[in-house]
Chain A
């Protein structure tokens, strides 16, 4: 997990009938200066138009995230209770993950006030100080907090880090587990994922998984995309001996990083055997445009004695040490009257075409090699 967003301070601010907006409690004490509060107070205890909205204001190199609450009732002096429980961070901090926390806390406090007058009662309000303390501590250290308030209310909070949107998963993509599959607790996942799991072996592509697991193609794509989002799997391409790969600049990492070396050796070595860095590195460097895996096997048979070439390729793709060179057919000569090409546009790889049309690689190759109107690009 990434490091948690550092919360520098948690504060509870309210509107006092004669004093006006003030900070009633803050942890750590005196963190928000008089000057800072004066500058931003109009966004902490706000006019009606801004109430009950999440507001982040940046000033004096600090970011304050809060949600001003207004509870109207004639029992309150001036007919309303106004308060705001907020967080303070450094202005450069990314605070998206904190926003749901602030919103949730404002909801908790509102409920507590409506149910039992938690805030308007001076005695129970004092409990807020230790609550703020605990919140600050736990959110910063573990990113989560479970805090009983009274007999009927408990606060549950968890910082959920936002991840990037995952790629679209194609039928010809191959999902491979990034961590040890045994550490995967099946029962925590949905039924679709559970059903396809046995077929995610780093060699079967989506279309194949769909056929063999008897799950509809789109569902498999979505399930794998979900696994991708949580970084449980990564995607590689279909393995064939006719595939061509080449190294990327990242292959240098294999030389520089000891832990990567260890991981690699462990991953690619044949069962019961152990290869060495020299052999592995030579093999990776042997992958060049024009060289198929078959070629590699015949040229480097010695080095491959202790190495599983499929695992070698898989590891290289997962870590970005090598990349696949795909063939993209383009129809260059075409009759004016005929329809524009659907798949032979230079944007669809052999893998994709084979998946979509059901042809085998060999069949497709034969068909295209003999067609003078089609040129094949490697990229």
Chain B
């Protein structure tokens, strides 16, 4: 593993009780949604370092959202908090009754970001969407998104609707983390090569601990645009259930007459999912191919800069 891992500072801010620590615990600390009920309030800032893909360290700043803390962030702690920020994730509780106050704090954040880290990427999560009636969700989210984009100018923000109770959480965090991976283009290029060689319909690459999708390839359009985060969610839950029984999840094969899907440990930092729709190709062949590709992808992870081109020999 590279000893000169890139460190990226991620600010996680939002009103008290909006769900920041819960989200962080599910994505990075193997909590299941139900467990987050036990969490206490975050006092001031909780720092955590998360190793990601071997060559990236996410420096998470989970900032308690009570008024006293927020006021401090904008005044005495301003430089400390808002300098060198790579990503700002601002969490809004969709049920909040104090929309004006929420916006006021959000804008103060943006001001401080503009002054101290103007290149930071901004993500807004409209959270606890499960508390909104299903048929209202799209509408309410669209409203909020429009407001936020307008309020954020001249800065740009990307909005997601999330809930800890479904896959939307994974979609948001996948997209966020994707922006932070240093050599993501190269990863995608190699994944495409691999997929084409083995004639797969689709290949997904997951980060090993969080099961966030970090790269994917598909050779044709698929029906469900949300399948990635759904898979993340399902497999992660399954993986956690296994560990509760003191068993560790290694691999899975799912097949029917239309397709075969293989989920397996790939490199030391990733899992791979390969979907084959050609029934004539035996499992063994696909598994061998996956095994052979491992070494090359492992090498890719260990390398510092995007200088290597990868040659793969397949049988």
Contacts and interface: CB of A to CB of B under 8 A. Distances in A.
Interface stretch (A73-81, A145-153, A226-234, A259-267): A73-81
B62 to A, nearest CB: 12
Interface in B40-70: 40-41, 43-44, 46, 64, 66-69
B66 A17 contact: yes
B118 interface: no
Contacts of B76: 38
Contacts of A16: 66
A362 interface: no
A109 B46 CA distance: 28
A80 B43 CA distance: 12
Q: Which of A21, A48, A74 has the most CB of B within 10 A?
A: A21
B277 interface: no
Contacts, number: 49
A47 B40 contact: no
A266 to B, nearest CB: 64
B39 interface: yes
Nearest to A72: B40
A17 B16 contact: yes
A19 B40 contact: no
A45 B37 CA distance: 22
Given A17-B17, A18-B17, A20-B16, A80 B68 contact: no
B38 A79 contact: yes
Interface in B63-92: 64, 66-69, 72, 76
B67 A18 contact: yes
Interface residues on A, range: 20 to 34
Contacts of A42: 43-44
Contacts of B64: 20
A46 interface: yes
A18 B14 CA distance: 12
B60 to A, nearest CB: 16
B40 A45 contact: no
A19 B66 contact: yes
Contact of A22 (B44, B46, B68): B68
Interface residues of B, number: 17
Contact of B43 (A17, A22, A47, A72): A47
Contact of B40 (A21, A41, A46, A80): A80
B44 A47 contact: yes
Nearest to B46: A47
Contacts of A46: 43
A42 B41 CA distance: 14
Contact of B68 (A20, A47, A48): A20
A16 to B, nearest CB: 7
A158 to B, nearest CB: 33
A18 B66 contact: yes
Interface of B: 16-17, 37-41, 43-44, 46, 64, 66-69, 72, 76
25 contacts: A15-B41, A15-B66, A16-B66, A17-B17, A17-B66, A18-B16, A18-B66, A18-B67, A19-B67, A20-B66, A20-B67, A20-B69, A21-B66, A38-B68, A38-B76, A42-B44, A45-B43, A46-B43, A47-B46, A48-B40, A72-B40, A74-B38, A79-B38, A80-B40, A80-B41
Given A15-B43, A74-B38, A79-B38, 19 more contacts: A17-B17, A18-B17, A19-B66, A20-B16, A20-B64, A20-B68, A21-B68, A38-B68, A45-B43, A46-B43, A47-B44, A47-B46, A72-B40, A74-B37, A78-B17, A78-B41, A79-B37, A79-B40, A80-B40
Interface of A: 15-22, 38, 41-42, 45-48, 72, 74, 78-80
- 4 smallest A-B Cβ distances: which pairs? A20-B66, A20-B68, A78-B41, A80-B40
